[in-house]
Amino acid sequence: MSKARRAGKTIGLVPTMGALHAGHGRLIEQSVRECGLTVVSVFVNSIQFDRQDDFDLYPRTLAEDVKFAEALGAQIVFAPSATEMYPHPQNSFVEVEKVAEPLCGKFRPGHFRGVATVVLKLFHIVQPDRAYFGEKDAQQLAVIRRMVRDLNVPIEIVGVPIVRESDGLALSSRNRRLSPEDRRIAPVLHEALELASKAIAEGARRAPEVQRKALAFLARHPEIRVEYLEIVDPDEMQPVDSITGPVRVAAAVWLGGVRLIDNVLAVYY
């Protein structure tokens, strides 16, 4: 990387936990288009998991991930071990207040502290000019943007739109754990978010009313257990009561033992 930097090349970083799919592929492709050198990191970060079973079950497919990333033009796949990333007991952490507190932060204690900490470590190791994150994890993207801004980290954070299956399900490494029946039901989550977005576009201005409509739609499917469905400010991720500008409709649900998240940006006209 030092050679690339001396040559004046822009360095792009795509941080991942592996089990790469077309959603990750979109991040890699954009980095390859915009940067002279693309680094894809693959690290399943234990400190961002709030449940040990979720960490244990997270798919690990490094050999396939390396082939996938290289086929899309990434020059480096950085796949450190846990002892390389955390050679000593970790006593220093990055806390991003407010943005990290609602939504997933409410239900996954310590999750965003783990995310922000490992991402900052990766930034220090790779020293990229740009880093690419998917908008499916909209709150994570907001947390990283706030961290970079508040801590004066000289890196451009690039958000990349969600990649979906043909039936609307947002691509996720966890989708492979869905049973065939749960996979059939899973697109209902996106349908509920689109229902809320349509209501906002057609003039709904009271967030609780839109929220109730989307929740009623999800309630038709008892297999789905809703963790949250909120209408939030797209930058601070704080729930809103009145819709006066663009908002994100964000949700997390459980299907069987699999947690799915999704969001849409809703704009009123």
Catalytic residues: 24
Alpha-carbon dihedral 76, 133, 187, 166, rounded to 10 degrees: -60
How many angstroms separate the most distant Cα atoms in the chain? 59
Q: Residues, the chain, total?
A: 269
Cα 119 to Cα 113: distance, rounded to the nearest angstrom: 10
- Whether the CB-CB separation of 77 and 66 falls below 8 Å is answered with yes
Q: Provide the angle, in degrees to the nearest 10, between the axes of the packed helices 138-150 and 111-126.
A: 60
> Residue by residue, what is the 3-state secondary structure of 47-110?
HHCCCHHHHHHCCCCHHHHHHHHHHCCCCEEECCCHHHHCCCCCCCCCCCCCCCCCCHHHHCCC
Backbone φ and ψ of 70, nearest 5°: -65, -35
Cα 207 to Cα 237: distance, rounded to the nearest angstrom: 14
- Whether the CB-CB separation of 40 and 28 falls below 8 Å is answered with yes
Residues 159-190 as b/e (b if ≥16 CB within 10 A, e otherwise) read ebebbbeeebbbbbbbbebbeeebbebbbbbb
With CA atoms as reference, report the closest residue to 68 among 28, 117, 128, 116.
28
